[in-house]
Amino acid sequence: MRIPPALAAKLTERVLELLPPPPARVLEVGFAGIHATPLRLAGYTVEVLDDGRARARANAVERAGGVIAAPSGHYDAVVAPAGAALTGVDAGHVIRL
């Protein structure tokens, strides 16, 4: 299930409440970069994972300045939709919305 962009953007405040304190390395999966800029402004290092859909990738590049094709290394936290597959993601904390 995909969360509509307007609702996902409203969830950023909740994400900030659930994340460990900055500085922390965060992976955003499945939100096309919606949370990236607010999290960076709050002091987090954020990477946005490309989900392979062209439109989502274009939105993520516009919002976040870039995307990654695969997770790399350990993340302090990952933010993802409830049904997102997180195979291969090494994260200390998982936030599912």
| Residue 51: predicted pLDDT | 66
Q: To the nearest 10°, the Cα dihedral for 6, 9, 84, 24?
A: 170
| pLDDT per residue as tens, the chain (97 positions) | 466 667 777 889 999 999 999 999 999 998 888 899 999 999 999 999 876 666 777 777 778 878 898 999 999 999 998 888 898 999 999 999 8
**Domain ranges, ordered by start, for the chain:** 5-96
Both structure tokens of 50: 């490309």
| Residue 21: predicted pLDDT | 96
| Residue 7: predicted pLDDT | 75
CATH of domain 5-96: 3.40.50.150
The pTM assigned to this predicted structure is: 0.86
User: Residue 96: enclosing H or E segment and its boundaries?
Assistant: strand 94-96
